[in-house]
Amino acid sequence: MKAVFLMADGFEDLEFFYPYYRLKEQGIETVVATPGAETVVGKNGYEIKGAVPLEEVGAEGFDMLILPGGKSPEKVRLIPAARQITQDMMNSGRMVASICHGAQILISAGVLEGRNATCWRGIADDIMAAGASYRDEPVVVDGNLITSRKPDDLPMFCRELFANLQSGVLSS
């Protein structure tokens, strides 16, 4: 089992570290893709070194895609490979999990049409304009898509990640 996180500077530290370590706890291999595989800095100053260049990341070999929020998604969504892996993961039925502003990547990848989703309230209009039905709930599960609103929702977000892992949503 292998998960990939797409990140750039300004990521919301809790929205990365909480699921990152929870996945590692469960024995799931975690890979961080950043621009140029460089070190990125979170909103609160924590650093994480990328293992894979974001510009070259692809869906092959990954079972799960995690999109943390913060200011990072504004940068990540501009990278064609990030949009492509998001499309490929969604279209193949593999798990895609987004929290907060991570939905901006889903919007730019064009994968929200007809989906139920949640996000940070400030971009709710954006996901509705992208064709999603917005739900102001801590976590929304729609098939292989798991979305959440904010750091306070992380316990429910991770609970759904693991419930869906156990139910066999992943393709491995």
Known active-site residue 100: yes
- Secondary structure of the chain: what % helix, strand, coil (to 5)? 40, 25, 35
- The residue annotated as part of the active site, out of 101, 115, 149, 150, is 101
Contact 67, 73 (CB under 8 A): yes
- The residue annotated as part of the active site, out of 14, 100, 106, 127, is 100
d(CA 97, CA 73): 13
Known active-site residue 158: no
Catalytic residues: 100-101
